[in-house]
Amino acid sequence: LLGWAPLAGAPRWGSAAGLLAWVPGPWIVRPALAARRILAGPPPVIAVRETAPAQDPARIDPVESAARWWAAYAAADGGPAPGTVLREVEPRGAGVRAVIASAQPGKPVPEIPIRALSALVNVPEDQIRIEPIPGQGAGVRLLELGDTRKEQERSLAEVWRTEIAPKAMPGSQLVEVRHGTGDRAGVVELHVQVPRGETITYDYTSLLSALDAEDDPSRVVVESSVKRAIVTLYERNPLLDIRQVTRDDLVMDERGYVTVGAHHNGRAARRRMFDPETGSAQRFVLFGTTGAGKSRTVQLDLAAEKRNKICSWLADLKEGQSVPEAAGNVDFRVTTQKGAIMMLRAAVAVAHARMRRYSARGQTAFVLGGDPLFHVTIDEANRLLERGAPYRDEATLLIKEIARTGRSVGVGIRIAAQASHLEELGGSDTLRGMLKEGEVTLLRWSSSMMRQLVADGLLPPEVRLVPIPKRLGVSTLTSQFDDDADDEDAGEGTQGMAYLLSSPHPTSPMRHFRVGSTEPLPGLDPQILDLYGPEPPTTLGPEDAAAAGEAYALRHDEEALAALFDAEQAQHTSKMDIPTADTADGVEPTRTPPRLLPDRVLAVLQAAEGSLSVEQIHAAVDTDGGKPVRRGSIRNALSKLAADDRARIVDRGKYEAVR
């Protein structure tokens, strides 16, 4: 934007033509000029010391540099102004104004030949004036280069209204310009608004063009709210420098928030994990296109849950590849759609069991300290909910049921998806309540998703979001005739950049803290594992575990869980068979219901004359006419039978039935 660095304070004065830094170019009123004046801030009036100690050239003040230039060239022996010093340099109008003072107190400023000074600074003679200063003696003179008396015909507010607003932000008025200081030096805020009764709208591309910022759009951030907007201008987008997350960031505060990143203006970006004021578990929605940083954001949330002793269940429907470090760091993890359905069924059962228990004791909301806060995460949810998915209807119903009934009993639901349209997520009705009342995070999105969110009323029409590009940095046009042109992508990727639509600053761009290594690794990321920590994950209590049933008992054996799913589906299907002639006559046909694996194992133990090893039990089960299973599934079934007091372990790892 017009060169932030030189405009952060005074002009640069780096050569013999340095005094012309404010003169060249047509300083007429235009949008770019408005931006220059805005960024420059109030013109500085700086008194320059007559003598100054040597400094590092990189640290020389630009105005002081002008005085040194004057001393080296204009005031030197043979120069046009010997025995003088330059003070109080400032831009004025379309030129530069300064004070020439005698180097010897009590002596007048000598006559300075305009023709010689014109040759030195390369400014036409008719644009150089040396005059007395009213109320001052002959020891000082006023120097003016260029047309310092030509004031800008219109104010910045008028320039905004007539030159920038019509195309970039129709009907808006510039009401305030604020300049950052200290560690925010170089940052400029433009506060604009529209008249009462109107809603502010803007064309981001037109705004970039008006502010001469199309070379690096990431430096211009727009936040809007109904009739007001703040346009923030940066020398460099601060979200490029986001730091690594720490475990301390993820400690939940007294209001149920954890810190997940930073907004562009430096404010902490927080996500609410629990609402202690209402005793409500949260509903989370995370959208993002491929490469937007969704998986790392899910890792961050799961690590926060573990840090705060929240019981986490996870369905990683990219066959476990999306968040592999979560294995062993959550209580219940599945990687298939069948497993996801079993997990959701169990979660609904837990929610309803809690409702019955809480109702019996008159408890109307969830309170931390009793049952664990409990979150179910469906990652790559579009695979489960898209049209054509085999279990879409049931998954939609189960997710809606958790969202509807789980809040008051401490059961939350999170869906993370790469969807371009809400129909890919079970339809808009599935998500309407979650989007309006849940914790919604929007990473880099597709245009069709944004149109659908607005069209369905899930985002207010006045909420305007600046698109998140694939990369941050300078964009350039390259000619085919440039032999040395660099065709590689410029700038840094925007993984983790997002809008927290449920936060107090929904239109403020933020970026999640960096999670894990910045480079791909051949295996698990040790930094992510460290973020989870060594402690075991929080599990359900005995009453919740009983409600979750056999699916929870088999949560560490996905093959056994799939077999359980198949058995339950077969039972459900058998109940819905079309009636036969026998049933029509009132005679119920004889059916042999499919047996669950623990029942098959128990039948083998009951038929044995003594105790059996796991290997012997496995061999017998595989020959009973049922579906073949793995040895690990046998061990899980034995553990469940032992927990139910239907089997027990005897000497040397052998099992027998409890008779």
User: What are the tens digits of pLDDT across the range 354-412?
Assistant: 999 999 999 999 999 999 999 999 999 989 988 889 999 899 889 989 998 999 999 99
Identify the bridge partners of residue 145 per DSSP, sorted by sequence position. 96, 128
Identify the bridge partners of residue 509 per DSSP, sorted by sequence position. none
Nearest Cα to Cα of residue 341 among 99, 575, 558: 558
Q: How far apart are CA 271 and CA 298, in angstroms?
A: 12
The DSSP secondary-structure symbol of 615 reads H
Higher pLDDT, residue 566 or 3: 566
Question: Can you tell me the mean pLDDT for 288-305?
Answer: 95
Residues near 409 by beta carbon (within 8 Å), at least 6 away in sequence: 281, 351, 354, 355, 358, 366, 371
Nearest Cα to Cα of residue 220 among 208, 206, 202, 210: 208
Of 276-280, 308-312, 635-639, minimum mean pLDDT range: 635-639
Residues near 565 by beta carbon (within 8 Å), at least 6 away in sequence: 338, 339, 341, 342
Question: Can you tell me the mean pLDDT for 200-221?
Answer: 88
HSE on the CB side for 597, CA within 13 Å? 30
HSE on the CB side for 6, CA within 13 Å? 11
Tell me the pLDDT tens digit for each residue of 558-581.
999 999 999 888 876 554 443 444
* Confidence (pLDDT) at 18: 40
Nearest Cα to Cα of residue 306 among 373, 389, 213, 229: 373
Q: Which fold has domain 156-236?
A: Alpha-Beta Plaits (3.30.70)
* Confidence (pLDDT) at 17: 37
Tell me the pLDDT tens digit for each residue of 297-341.
999 999 999 999 999 999 999 999 999 999 999 999 999 999 999
Which superfamily is assigned to 275-471+492-543 in CATH?
A: P-loop containing nucleotide triphosphate hydrolases (3.40.50.300)
* Confidence (pLDDT) at 329: 97
Nearest Cα to Cα of residue 19 among 141, 146, 124: 146
Amino acid type, 421: H
Nearest Cα to Cα of residue 318 among 347, 340, 297, 345: 340
Q: Copy the structure tokens of residue 120.
A: 């030195």
Residues near 186 by beta carbon (within 8 Å), at least 6 away in sequence: 4, 5, 8, 180, 234, 235
Q: Is pLDDT above 50 for 589? A: no
Of 5-14, 86-95, 296-305, 639-648, minimum mean pLDDT range: 5-14
Q: Is pLDDT above 60 for 123? A: yes
Q: Is pLDDT above 60 for 180? A: yes
DSSP states of 57-110: GGG--HHHHHHHHIIIIISSTTSSSTTEEEEEEEEETEEEEEEEEESSTTPPPP
* Confidence (pLDDT) at 226: 86
**Domain 557-657 is found in CATH 1.10.10.10:** yes
Q: How far apart are CA 105 and CA 116, in angstroms?
A: 25
Q: Is pLDDT above 50 for 623? A: yes
Amino acid type, 238: P
Tell me the pLDDT tens digit for each residue of 500-538.
988 888 889 999 999 999 888 999 999 999 999 999 999
* Confidence (pLDDT) at 174: 92
The DSSP secondary-structure symbol of 206 reads H
Residue limits of CATH 1.10.10.10 in the chain? 557-657
Given a contact cutoff of 8 angstroms between Cβ atoms, the answer to whether 104 and 85 are in contact is no
Identify the bridge partners of residue 514 per DSSP, sorted by sequence position. 244
Strand order in 128-131's β-sheet?
Answer: 84-92, 94-102, 140-147, 128-131
* Confidence (pLDDT) at 461: 61
Q: Write out the H or E segment, with its range, that includes residue 188.
A: strand 188-193
Q: Is the pTM of this model over 0.85?
A: no
* Confidence (pLDDT) at 568: 86
Q: Is pLDDT above 70 for 448? A: no
Of 225-234, 292-301, 613-622, minimum mean pLDDT range: 613-622
Tell me the pLDDT tens digit for each residue of 69-83.
899 999 998 999 999
- Give percent above pLDDT 70 in the chain: 78
Q: At what angle do helices 631-643 and 597-607 cross, to 10 degrees?
A: 80
Given a contact cutoff of 8 angstroms between Cβ atoms, the answer to whether 55 and 21 are in contact is no
HSE on the CB side for 412, CA within 13 Å? 28
Nearest Cα to Cα of residue 216 among 237, 190, 198, 188: 237
Nearest Cα to Cα of residue 540 among 265, 378, 343, 254: 343
Q: Where are the beta strands (DSSP E) in 10-56?
A: none
Given a contact cutoff of 8 angstroms between Cβ atoms, the answer to whether 72 and 3 are in contact is no
Residue limits of CATH 3.40.50.300 in the chain? 275-471+492-543
The three-class DSSP label of residue 495 is coil
* Confidence (pLDDT) at 347: 97
Tell me the pLDDT tens digit for each residue of 216-237.
888 899 999 889 999 999 988 8
Q: How far apart are CA 413 and CA 560, in angstroms?
A: 24
* Confidence (pLDDT) at 181: 84
